[in-house]
Amino acid sequence: MKLLLPSALGLAILLSSCGNMLDSMDESEIPDYTKNWLHNQHGEVLTFRSSTGQVRTLTVARKRHIRSGTNQIGKFEHEIINVWYRSGPDSLLNMALEARANYVHVSKGGDEFASFLTNKSDGRTMFYSRVGTSSSERIVAWDTTFSGQPYRYLGRVVVPPTAGADTVTAVYFSRYNGLIGFTTKRAGTWHRQ
């Protein structure tokens, strides 16, 4: 009887971790815990204020579609959700997210620069930037603040440097609020209003 409880507990932990792995292999539907990170809706206008008082707006475009085809294994269907953040003519933060299974890919100008692997266990979502991120920064932050506002789960991706007067250096996402802020070289931190 003493061995039954540890064995049952070990089996439960193994099965719960397999669920996340199976979600990453089954791309036919995006799990709800991934959709939570894609909170922003089509047509939504997001307003950001910098630490210097400047205001900038972004418009959200969102599309869900099914990609289907045939491969060596047979027929397949993949659910894909695309979210685009578009700023004015200067395109400071023209950025796109593409969700497939439990992955969200982040790109700008068609070049993917980051991704995050979502997880059923809230604190296990991992953010991967192509530049400047240590392994300790990859784990989503729990109960943290950004520009004085509290967030339950917060992740950051580092944006590769580009030429221009002012460029985005990092972007911040909240599991339940979507895009909540970014930083730029000149104006510093921009927080969603």
Residues 6+ apart with CB under 8 A from 130: 112, 113, 114, 158, 160
| pLDDT of amino acid 142 | 79
Q: Quick one: which H or E segment has residue 178? A: strand 178-184
| Domains in the chain: boundaries | 4-192
- Of residues 4 and 46, the one with the higher pLDDT is 46
Which tokens in the block code for residue 142?
């729990």
Output the pTM of the full model.
0.77
Which tokens in the block code for residue 136?
């300790």
| pLDDT of amino acid 19 | 46
